[in-house]
């Protein structure tokens, strides 16, 4: 429901502004047709000005926003409420014979100006609503109620009295929604009601409630206008017009809502279809280039096999000619030949600064494959050329079948390769989530999702080795931070990396107070968790809450400003512009859960002292750790097989423990077995999800976080006590406790490390 309402926010703004224009038209009509001294034209001016401001919100929502445009809208809203305040001031004089002077406008206007200068233009609207809007709206509501109680002096009879009472009620509701519900700001109390909190708790945008109250305000003022006429015929016509307009507004809201929702659905489908068609074109284009490179490498290998004479070296002069001829097949190709040691002995780009000649590529995965007699394939960024490409390698065999060389064709890839279908933004991404090619600026080498660093070793012995180890050490830290954050946020939250060492967490339907609490939790976890060889690290956090007028750029800018304050204020802290971090943490301190460091890659096994159970625990611990390592790179089919193996072994272990518990009447056996059952139920559900959808985000988080953490805590909270119980039982019984089942050790999942070519 919340997503539906937010998707229709543009139509809500349209309808909101429209009913204000309706209210303005009614007020202008009253001012022309009645002789009452009430300054209806001022109420109409307020409505027209406010409606224009709301439609400017619509323009910002559709066409993009900026700080200057936002400030202009906020000032226009402030001006509209000043018009309403002047309406209330003059109407008060009509009804009571006296009223405060025009100096009344200076007090709230000056306060708004002072707060805007002190805290920035982004908080002007947070000052306008409580200081100008709320007094003006509630004063107007009270004046309508006063006029209803003095109908004879105000005019209009019983119908007018009812209309004024309704107008008073709806102005009061509008005062609550538009004057008291205020965007978060440094000068607003932490627990003051805000539109963001309302959206998080109820799923209803505040703009929808404001629009509904304004609609009822306009209809009640219209009913008041109809009551001023004494002619039965005219009154009947105006009543008919009133109900016709009420029905028209209802139909406009419902019909327009359905129409725009349908248009949005169709547009979304068109966008998806267009993206899928473009992706299909790019895929076809790239696979065609790869297929040609594969064919070129095979042809090159066949040609070179005829050059080799048993016991004789390859003629290098003729080799260069063949390499150059093969490179002419495509302007994007680089063709080269590698000897059995991995060194390039001929290359079509020889003589250029990025020449491969005499470079040793023995460590490349695709070269290793071909040196072992297999076809090699690799897609990545060249270390020498720093150019993305597809590498196809084939073994060159002698007459007796020995591999004497490797023929390689690299098909260079550029931005043009991702745009054959007129695509706006496209990415070519490795299995580890790193962008190797994009037609957008500045996206290369950016991680789109976390990757697991495998097989890293540390312990440099020289300054050069230290410099070489730093990137790997940094990667280890970044991977550790990513894993820590992903495991400790909700499935609905999104974790991304902005670049360098900066990350972002998007937490939908979460007010600033909740986001501050989450940031503090992550900060504490980082300080308590060893992130690989780098040890414990600290983090600084900047929190910003999404405002109705925000764009992605303005939201990120405010979060970046808060992060800068956290860094400049001493680091290892949380800062937020919308709420007081100290107050939030003080309020949530009694309820905060204890900080528990995440696993840092060490064994999750802990000895209970009872050897038969410890043997099973150790085997399961190794399998679970290995399973977590294969998740980022393993194929879904491999992951499913490994997961089924772990579940089978875990089930056998659970049955073994439960038989021992029942045989020796363990006092905690019911609760212990219940934990087994709950875990098994959750694991079987995830196994079904794995079979249907592959390795999803939720499965990945469960596998690398929940699974090892549950295993470790289960041993600590249940099995340590159970192991001691079994030891005591064994000591009391002369006969050894019989072993009831032999648990199969699960196979350790394997995966291959990623590399660059």
The CATH fold of domain 611-732 = 1.20.120
| Distance, CA of 301 to CA of 283 (rounded, Å) | 27
CATH 2.60.40.10 fits 283-438, yes or no: no
Q: For residues 588 and 492, which has the higher predicted lDDT (pLDDT)?
A: 492
Find all residues with CB under 8 Å of 158, minimum gap 6, and list them.
Answer: 151
**Residues 452, 749 contacting (CB under 8 angstroms):** no
Give the confidence band of 699 by pLDDT, cuts at 50, 70, 90.
confident
pLDDT of residue 94: 87
- Cα-based torsion angle of the residue sequence 624, 630, 632, 633 in order, rounded to the nearest 10 degrees: -170
**Axis crossing angle, helix 157-175 with helix 206-227, rounded to the nearest 10:** 160
Kindly tell me if the per-residue pLDDT of 404 is higher than 80. Answer: yes
Q: pTM for this one?
A: 0.41
Question: 139-153, 466-480, 489-503 — which is least confidently predicted?
Answer: 466-480
Cα 282–Cα 283–Cα 289 angle in degrees, nearest 5: 90
Read off the pLDDT of each residue in 615-629 and give the average, rounded to a whole number: 81
Q: What percent of the chain has pLDDT over 70?
A: 76
| Distance, CA of 636 to CA of 645 (rounded, Å) | 14
Tell me if residue 495 falls in helix, strand or coil. strand
| Distance, CA of 631 to CA of 194 (rounded, Å) | 42
pLDDT tens column, 526-536:
776 666 555 66
- Report the residue count for the chain: 757
pLDDT tens column, 352-377:
888 888 888 888 888 988 998 889 98
What's the mean pLDDT when you consider all of the chain?
Answer: 77
Kindly tell me if the per-residue pLDDT of 172 is higher than 90. Answer: yes
| C-alpha distance from residue 356 to each of 310, 344, 352, 359, 465 (Å) | 27, 7, 9, 5, 24
Read off the pLDDT of each residue in 116-143 and give the average, rounded to a whole number: 91
| C-alpha distance from residue 501 to each of 391, 474, 539, 541 (Å) | 31, 9, 10, 12
CATH number of 474-591: 3.30.70.270
Domain locations in the chain? Answer: 2-228, 283-438, 474-591, 611-732
Task: Classify residue 293 by burial, with Cβ atoms within 10 Å: 0-12, 13-18, 19+.
Answer: buried
Which residue, 548, 544, 578, is CA-closest to 560? 544
pLDDT tens column, 219-246:
888 788 777 655 434 344 455 555 555 5
pLDDT tens column, 306-330:
765 434 455 666 788 888 888 888 8
Read off the pLDDT of each residue in 2-14 and give the average, rounded to a whole number: 58
pLDDT tens column, 736-754:
433 333 333 343 333 333 3
pLDDT tens column, 91-100:
999 888 888 8
């Amino acid at each position: 429901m919340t997503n539906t309402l937010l998707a229709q926010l543009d139509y809500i703004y349209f309808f909101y502004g429209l009913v204000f224009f309706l209210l303005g038209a009614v007020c202008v009509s009253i001012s022309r047709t009645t002789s009452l001294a009430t300054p209806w034209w001022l109420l109409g001016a307020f409505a027209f000005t406010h409606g224009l401001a709301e439609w400017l919100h619509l323009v910002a929502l559709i066409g993009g926003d900026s700080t200057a445009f936002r400030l202009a809208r906020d000032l226009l809203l402030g001006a509209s409420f000043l018009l309403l305040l002047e309406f209330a001031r003059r109407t008060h004089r009509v009804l009571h014979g006296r009223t405060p002077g025009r100096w009344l406008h200076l007090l709230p206007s000056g306060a708004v100006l002072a707060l805007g200068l002190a805290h920035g233009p982004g908080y002007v609207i947070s000052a306008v609503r409580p200081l100008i809007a709320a007094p003006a709206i509630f004063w107007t509501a009270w004046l309508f109620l006063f006029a209803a109680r003095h109908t004879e002096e105000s005019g209009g009879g019983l119908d007018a009295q009812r209309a004024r009472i309704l107008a008073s009620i709806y102005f009061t509701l509008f005062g609550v929604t538009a004057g008291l519900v205020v965007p978060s700001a440094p000068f607003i109390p932490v627990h003051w009601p805000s539109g963001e909190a309302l959206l998080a708790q109820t799923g209803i945008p505040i703009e929808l409630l404001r629009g509904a109250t304004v609609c009822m305000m306009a209809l009640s003022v219209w009913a008041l206008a109809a009551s001023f006429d004494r002619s039965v015929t005219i009154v009947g016509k105006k009543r008919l017009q009133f109900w016709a307009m009420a029905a028209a507004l209802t139909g406009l809201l419902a019909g327009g809502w359905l129409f725009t929702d349908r248009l949005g659905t169709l547009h979304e489908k068109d966008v998806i279809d267009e993206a899928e068609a473009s992706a299909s074109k790019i895929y076809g284009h790239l696979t065609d280039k790869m297929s040609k490179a594969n064919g070129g490498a095979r042809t090159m290998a066949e040609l070179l096999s005829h050059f080799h004479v048993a016991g004789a070296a390859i003629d290098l002069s003729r080799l260069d000619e063949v390499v150059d001829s093969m490179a002419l097949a495509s302007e994007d190709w680089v063709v080269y030949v590698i000897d059995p040691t991995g060194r390039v002995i001929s290359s079509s780009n020889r003589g250029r600064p990025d020449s491969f000649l005499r470079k040793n590529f023995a460590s490349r995965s695709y070269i290793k494959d071909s040196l072992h007699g297999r076809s090699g394939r690799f897609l990545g960024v060249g270390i020498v050329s720093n150019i993305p490409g597809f590498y196809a390698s084939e073994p060159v065999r002698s007459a007796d079948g020995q591999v004497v060389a490797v023929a390689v064709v690299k098909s260079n890839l550029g931005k043009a390769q991702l745009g054959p279908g007129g695509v706006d933004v496209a990415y070519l991404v490795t299995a580890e989530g790193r962008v190797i090619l994009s037609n957008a600026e500045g996206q290369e080498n950016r991680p789109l999702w976390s990757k697991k660093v495998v097989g890293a070793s540390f312990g440099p012995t020289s300054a050069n080795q230290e410099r070489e180890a730093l990137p790997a050490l940094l990667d280890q830290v970044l991977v550790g931070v990513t894993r820590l954050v992903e495991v400790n946020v909700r499935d609905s939250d999104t974790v991304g990396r902005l670049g360098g060492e900066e990350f972002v967490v998007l937490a939908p339907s979460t007010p600033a107070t909740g986001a501050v609490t989450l940031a503090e939790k992550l900060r504490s976890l980082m300080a308590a968790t060893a992130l690989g060889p780098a040890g414990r690290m600290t983090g600084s956090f900047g929190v910003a809450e999404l405002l109705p007028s925000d764009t992605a750029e303005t939201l990120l800018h405010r979060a970046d400003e808060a992060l800068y304050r956290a860094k400049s204020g001493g680091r290892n802290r949380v800062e937020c512009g919308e709420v007081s971090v100290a107050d939030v943490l003080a309020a949530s301190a009694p309820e905060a859960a204890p900080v528990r460091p995440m696993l840092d890659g060490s064994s999750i096994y802990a000895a209970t002292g009872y050897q038969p159970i410890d043997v099973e625990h150790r085997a399961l611990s190794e399998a679970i750790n290995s399973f977590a390592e294969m998740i980022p790179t393993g194929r879904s089919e491999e992951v499913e097989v490994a997961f089924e193996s772990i579940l089978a072994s875990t089930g056998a272990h659970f049955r073994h423990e439960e038989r021992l518990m029942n045989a020796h009447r363990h006092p905690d056996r019911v609760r212990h077995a219940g934990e087994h059952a709950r875990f098994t139920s959750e694991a079987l559900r995830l196994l079904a999800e794995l079979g249907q959808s592959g390795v999803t985000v939720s499965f990945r988080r469960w596998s690398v976080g929940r699974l090892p953490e549950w295993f470790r805590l289960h041993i600590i909270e249940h099995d340590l006590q159970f192991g001691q119980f079994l030891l005591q039982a064994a000591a009391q019984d002369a006969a050894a406790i019989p072993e009831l089942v032999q648990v199969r050790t699960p196979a350790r999942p394997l995966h291959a490390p990623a590399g660059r070519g």
